[in-house]
Amino acid sequence: MKNRHKRLALIAGGVAAFGIATALVLNAFQSNLVFFFTPTQVSAGEAPQERTFRVGGMVQTGSVQRQSDGLTVKFVVTDTAKMIPVSYTGILPDLFSEGKGVVAQGKLGADGLFRAEEVLAKHDENYMPSEAQHALDEAAKNTIATRP
Protein backbone atom coordinates (compact mmCIF):
# COMPACT_ATOMS: atom_id res chain seq x y z
CA MET A 1 0.00 0.00 0.00
CA LYS A 2 2.66 2.41 1.07
CA ASN A 3 4.88 1.63 -1.90
CA ARG A 4 2.05 2.13 -4.30
CA HIS A 5 1.33 5.53 -2.75
CA LYS A 6 4.97 6.46 -3.01
CA ARG A 7 5.13 5.48 -6.65
CA LEU A 8 1.88 7.32 -7.39
CA ALA A 9 3.23 10.44 -5.72
CA LEU A 10 6.45 10.23 -7.72
CA ILE A 11 4.60 9.73 -10.98
CA ALA A 12 2.19 12.57 -10.18
CA GLY A 13 5.11 14.81 -9.29
CA GLY A 14 6.93 13.92 -12.49
CA VAL A 15 3.86 14.51 -14.63
CA ALA A 16 3.19 17.82 -12.89
CA ALA A 17 6.79 18.99 -13.38
CA PHE A 18 6.68 17.93 -16.99
CA GLY A 19 3.31 19.62 -17.54
CA ILE A 20 4.47 22.89 -16.00
CA ALA A 21 7.65 22.80 -18.04
CA THR A 22 5.73 22.16 -21.25
CA ALA A 23 3.36 25.01 -20.50
CA LEU A 24 6.29 27.34 -19.80
CA VAL A 25 8.07 26.30 -22.96
CA LEU A 26 5.07 26.67 -25.24
CA ASN A 27 4.09 29.99 -23.70
CA ALA A 28 7.60 31.38 -24.07
CA PHE A 29 7.93 29.90 -27.55
CA GLN A 30 4.79 31.61 -28.81
CA SER A 31 5.99 35.05 -27.89
CA ASN A 32 9.69 34.71 -28.62
CA LEU A 33 9.98 33.22 -32.05
CA VAL A 34 11.61 35.80 -34.28
CA PHE A 35 10.81 35.18 -37.93
CA PHE A 36 13.01 36.17 -40.83
CA PHE A 37 11.76 38.01 -43.92
CA THR A 38 13.59 39.01 -47.07
CA PRO A 39 13.24 42.62 -48.31
CA THR A 40 11.05 41.26 -51.13
CA GLN A 41 8.70 39.66 -48.63
CA VAL A 42 8.63 42.82 -46.53
CA SER A 43 7.70 45.04 -49.48
CA ALA A 44 5.02 42.54 -50.47
CA GLY A 45 3.47 43.17 -47.05
CA GLU A 46 4.11 39.65 -45.73
CA ALA A 47 5.93 40.85 -42.62
CA PRO A 48 3.93 41.63 -39.48
CA GLN A 49 3.48 45.12 -38.07
CA GLU A 50 3.97 45.60 -34.32
CA ARG A 51 5.96 42.43 -33.93
CA THR A 52 9.73 41.94 -33.86
CA PHE A 53 11.18 40.17 -36.87
CA ARG A 54 14.45 39.98 -38.77
CA VAL A 55 15.27 41.31 -42.18
CA GLY A 56 18.54 40.67 -44.00
CA GLY A 57 20.48 41.21 -47.17
CA MET A 58 23.25 43.54 -48.29
CA VAL A 59 23.84 47.05 -47.08
CA GLN A 60 23.19 49.15 -50.21
CA THR A 61 26.39 50.91 -51.27
CA GLY A 62 26.22 54.65 -50.59
CA SER A 63 23.13 54.37 -48.41
CA VAL A 64 24.68 54.72 -44.94
CA GLN A 65 23.85 58.11 -43.43
CA ARG A 66 24.79 59.18 -39.95
CA GLN A 67 22.28 61.47 -38.25
CA SER A 68 23.28 64.64 -36.42
CA ASP A 69 23.20 63.05 -32.95
CA GLY A 70 26.14 60.90 -34.06
CA LEU A 71 24.61 57.64 -32.88
CA THR A 72 21.64 57.13 -35.15
CA VAL A 73 22.45 55.55 -38.50
CA LYS A 74 20.14 55.10 -41.45
CA PHE A 75 20.91 52.60 -44.19
CA VAL A 76 19.15 50.54 -46.84
CA VAL A 77 19.04 46.73 -46.83
CA THR A 78 18.57 45.15 -50.23
CA ASP A 79 18.28 41.67 -51.67
CA THR A 80 19.00 43.20 -55.11
CA ALA A 81 15.28 43.11 -55.95
CA LYS A 82 13.72 45.29 -53.26
CA MET A 83 15.01 47.76 -50.67
CA ILE A 84 14.07 48.39 -47.05
CA PRO A 85 15.17 51.55 -45.19
CA VAL A 86 16.48 50.80 -41.72
CA SER A 87 17.36 53.05 -38.81
CA TYR A 88 19.44 52.05 -35.81
CA THR A 89 20.61 53.97 -32.75
CA GLY A 90 23.76 52.69 -31.10
CA ILE A 91 27.13 51.28 -32.00
CA LEU A 92 27.22 49.09 -35.08
CA PRO A 93 29.22 45.84 -35.11
CA ASP A 94 32.83 46.02 -36.30
CA LEU A 95 32.10 44.22 -39.54
CA PHE A 96 29.14 46.36 -40.58
CA SER A 97 29.95 48.09 -43.85
CA GLU A 98 28.46 49.06 -47.19
CA GLY A 99 28.19 46.28 -49.72
CA LYS A 100 28.42 43.59 -47.01
CA GLY A 101 25.85 41.25 -45.59
CA VAL A 102 23.74 42.28 -42.62
CA VAL A 103 20.81 41.07 -40.55
CA ALA A 104 18.71 43.54 -38.55
CA GLN A 105 16.19 42.69 -35.85
CA GLY A 106 13.44 45.14 -34.98
CA LYS A 107 9.96 46.37 -35.87
CA LEU A 108 8.49 47.77 -39.06
CA GLY A 109 6.83 51.16 -38.64
CA ALA A 110 3.67 52.24 -40.48
CA ASP A 111 5.88 54.66 -42.45
CA GLY A 112 7.79 51.71 -43.95
CA LEU A 113 10.94 52.42 -41.92
CA PHE A 114 12.38 49.40 -40.16
CA ARG A 115 13.51 50.41 -36.67
CA ALA A 116 16.25 48.00 -35.68
CA GLU A 117 16.90 47.13 -32.06
CA GLU A 118 19.84 44.95 -32.97
CA VAL A 119 22.16 44.75 -35.96
CA LEU A 120 24.12 41.57 -36.58
CA ALA A 121 27.09 41.29 -38.87
CA LYS A 122 29.45 38.36 -39.11
CA HIS A 123 32.36 37.49 -36.85
CA ASP A 124 34.48 36.89 -39.90
CA GLU A 125 34.23 38.93 -43.04
CA ASN A 126 34.72 35.95 -45.34
CA TYR A 127 31.35 34.59 -44.35
CA MET A 128 27.95 35.93 -45.17
CA PRO A 129 25.19 35.69 -42.55
CA SER A 130 23.20 32.65 -43.67
CA GLU A 131 19.95 34.59 -43.52
CA ALA A 132 21.33 37.41 -45.67
CA GLN A 133 22.61 34.87 -48.18
CA HIS A 134 19.17 33.26 -48.20
CA ALA A 135 17.55 36.62 -49.03
CA LEU A 136 19.91 37.16 -51.98
CA ASP A 137 19.37 33.62 -53.25
CA GLU A 138 15.59 33.97 -53.09
CA ALA A 139 15.68 37.27 -54.99
CA ALA A 140 17.98 35.77 -57.61
CA LYS A 141 15.63 32.82 -58.06
CA ASN A 142 12.64 35.12 -58.50
CA THR A 143 14.31 37.28 -61.13
CA ILE A 144 15.25 34.20 -63.13
CA ALA A 145 11.73 32.82 -62.78
CA THR A 146 10.06 36.03 -63.94
CA ARG A 147 12.38 36.49 -66.88
CA PRO A 148 10.59 35.55 -70.13
Partner 1 sequence: MIPEIGHFSLILTLFVALAQGCLALAGAARGNAVWIAFARPAARAQFLLIIVSFATLGWSFIVKDFSVAYVAQNSNSQLPLLYRVSAVWGGHEGSLLLWLLMQTGWAYAVSVFSKQLPDVMVARVLGVLGLVTAGFLLFVLLTSNPFERLLPAPIEGMDLNPLLQDIGLIFHPPLLYMGYVGFSVAFAFAIAALLAGQLDSTWARWSRPWATAAWLFLTLGIALGSWWAYYELGWGGWWFWDPVENSSFIPWLVGTALIHSLAVTEKRASFKNWTVLLAISTFSLSLLGAFLVRSGVLTSVHTFATDPRRGVFILMLFAVVVGSSLFLFALRAPKVGMGGRFELISRESLLLVNNVLLAVAAGAVILGTLYPLFIDALGLGKLSVGPPYFNAVFIPLMVPALLLMAVGPVANWKSAKISALMKHLHVPAVVALMVGVGAPFMLGRWSALVALGLALATWIATAVVKGIVDRMRATRTGLRAQPLSWLGMHLAHLGIAVFVAGVTLVMGYETEQDVRMTPGSTVSAGGYDLKFLGVNKAQGPNYVAEIGDIELSRDGRILRLLHPEKRSYISSEMPMTEAAIDANGLRHVYVALGEPLTDGAWSVRVYYKPFVDWIWIGCILMALGGLLAISDRRYRLKRRERKAALVAGGATS
Told to check if 107 binds partner 1 by CB under 8 A, we report no
The annotation status of 127 as a binding-site residue, yes or no, is: yes
Give 80: exposed, middle or buried? Use CB within 10 Å, 0-12, 13-18, 19+: middle
State how far the Cα of 42 lies from the Cα of 148, in Å rounded to an integer. Answer: 25
State how far the Cα of 45 lies from the Cα of 7, in Å rounded to an integer. Answer: 55
Told to check if 34 binds partner 1 by CB under 8 A, we report yes
Told to check if 92 binds partner 1 by CB under 8 A, we report yes
Residues between 35 and 64 with contacts to partner 1, criterion CB under 8 A: 35-36, 54
- The residue range among 23-31, 76-84, 106-114, 139-147 that interacts with partner 1, by the rule CB under 8 A, is 23-31
Identity of the residue, 54 or 82, whose beta carbon is nearer to partner 1 in the bound complex: 54
User: Could you say which of 6, 11, 61, 109 contacts partner 1 (CB under 8 A)?
Assistant: 6
Give 93's DSSP letter.
Answer: P
The annotation status of 88 as a binding-site residue, yes or no, is: no
Identity of the residue, 64 or 83, whose beta carbon is nearer to partner 1 in the bound complex: 64
State how far the Cα of 148 lies from the Cα of 122, in Å rounded to an integer. Answer: 36
The Cα-based distances of 23 to 26, 27, 35, 120, 125 in angstroms read: 5, 6, 22, 31, 41
Residue pair 46/38 in contact by the 8 Å Cβ criterion: no
Told to check if 18 binds partner 1 by CB under 8 A, we report yes
- Contact footprint for partner 1 (CB under 8 A): 3, 6, 9-10, 13-14, 17-18, 21, 24-25, 27-29, 31-36, 54, 66, 69-71, 89-92, 94-95, 122-125, 127, 129-131, 134
Give the residue ranges of the annotated binding site.
123, 127
